[in-house]
Amino acid sequence: MPALKNFGYNEDEDGELPTLVTGNEPDLQNILNTCKPDGGKNIVSDKKIDLANRQLDEDFGRQQRIPVTIITGYLGAGKSTLLEQIALKGSGKRLAVILNEFGDSSEIEKSISIKNNGDAYEEWLDLGNGCLCCSLKDIGVKAIEDMVARSPGKIDYILLETSGIADPAPIAKMFWQDKGLNSNVYIDGIITVLDSEHITTCLDDVSPTSHWHGEKVTLDDKSNTTIAHLQIAMADAILVNKSDKLEGDDSKKHELEDVVRSINTAAPIHYTKFGDIDLDLILDLKAFESTKLLEQDYTCTFHDPRISTVVLTFPFFQTQSQYDIFIKEFLQVLLWKDFGVDFRSVLQSQHEHNDQECKNFEVHRTKGLIVVGDECRVIQGVRDTYDIIPGEKLPSVTQNKMVFIGKHLNENFIRGLLDSAITPKA
């Protein structure tokens, strides 16, 4: 970033210098009482402060931020084959492919704090077509940011392949939460690769020690939810690989689609052979910014009680106060388990829902398009973290829409909570 212009003190423009206070003055308290909240007169004018702030924003805006696509899916689904196809096609992008070897998603966040206690291991491979491959043992956004900083002008796009047993949510949150700190990377989307032949086995195998391919279960609940459920729930696009196994069997294909749609109705499903796919369908999705994901058909004929999708539509907000109440009394209540008080216990008593689902629900992904007056706002969330950014009000958008993907979601309960928040109080 270029150095800031000189915004030093100028007597003609900025006025008299503030009184020097040593702290030993007998009338110190009186001096402090007459000072501005910042401790004295501004050494530079408000005009110069504003100019400096605007230059900072412009300089940060000029920095190139590299998109990251997370590729997840069980072992054997075809993640590596997909990466090979992307590298072969090239797409004109200089790609960095990061392969992760972590075995338990619970270790991901820990590694950020312990990364300086051990040596990071990076092994770079030339994949051709201007692509690089890095085996990054030292996982964490900071490690990837450092990688980008050390390779200025050499990387246009990052593909991050997770372990087959990884819950992608903690990884996504790390990239997403870091964007407010002027990170040089940002999350573009999550792609989940499924094995057409074995996905139903992965979803149904809930033995206490292992899944298909021997992956260890990392979930400690008793809801029979598998890592495969979480990988599908988090997806912005779903690739059903080895689609040749479904050829000539339309009933099996429809059954597979119903099972996947029962978990995540928001993500488009694409069928692939050997990971071959149009890159425009999986790269540059801007999934955490786009309003397109809300233009989906959310109907399905099969319901998976473990993880499912709830879609709510309701009228536009006319005032900011309506929107503020919606955020405080609905969205935050739904996503935040604890915010000073146990909101879920309060809700259970208020709405007279005594079933276990209302106490144990978990929201994994949140997507929303909210119109307030003439403004459109996009809501994106991962677990208990959410962000709200300006959006575009498309002609097809005629009402507000919220999409929740998660575990034990009771649509009647969530709808009742929404109605309670947006219904005018008497």
Domains in the chain (CATH in brackets) are: 11-60 (no CATH), 64-288 (3.40.50.300), 307-422 (3.30.1220.10)
Of the pLDDT bands very low, low, confident and very high (cuts 50, 70, 90), residue 108 is: very low
- Tell me whether strands 131-136 and 95-99 are parallel, antiparallel or unpaired: parallel
- Other CB atoms closer than 10 Å to residue 417's CB: what's the count? 22
DSSP string, 306-343: SEEEEEEEEPPBSSHHHHHHHIIIIIHHHH-S-SSS-H
Residue 252 · residue 260 · CB < 8 Å: no
Higher-confidence residue of 226 and 25: namely 226
| 291-303 confidence digits (pLDDT tens) | 654 555 545 544 5
Instruction: Name which of 163, 175, 187, 185 is nearest 106 in CA terms.
Output: 163
| 141-194 confidence digits (pLDDT tens) | 777 788 788 878 888 888 888 877 677 887 787 776 555 556 788 889 999 999
Tokens 């219904």 found at: 423
> Is 250 strand, coil or helix?
helix
CA distances from 378 to 6, 368, 411 (A): 38, 6, 21
Highest mean pLDDT among 108-117, 210-219, 382-391: 382-391
Of 5-9, 43-47, 168-172, 187-191, the least confident: 5-9
| 301-351 confidence digits (pLDDT tens) | 445 556 778 889 999 999 999 999 999 889 988 888 544 445 555 455 545
Instruction: Name which of 78, 28, 367, 385 is nearest 244 in CA terms.
Output: 78
Enter the pTM of the model: 0.61
Strands (E), 89-165: 95-99, 122-128, 131-136, 157-161
Question: What pLDDT, on a 0 to 100 scale, did the predictor assign at position 367?
Answer: 85
Q: Which residues contact 209 (CB under 8 A, 6 or more apart)?
A: 216, 217
Q: Give percent helix, percent strand, percent coil of the chain, each to the nearest 5.
A: 35, 20, 40
Question: What pLDDT, on a 0 to 100 scale, did the predictor assign at position 98?
Answer: 78
Of 17-31, 42-56, 104-118, 381-395, the least confident: 104-118
Question: What pLDDT, on a 0 to 100 scale, did the predictor assign at position 23?
Answer: 57
Strand partners of residue 311: 403
Residue 360 · residue 353 · CB < 8 Å: no
Looking at the predicted structure, is the pLDDT value of residue 388 above 90?
Answer: no
Tokens 């709200």 found at: 388
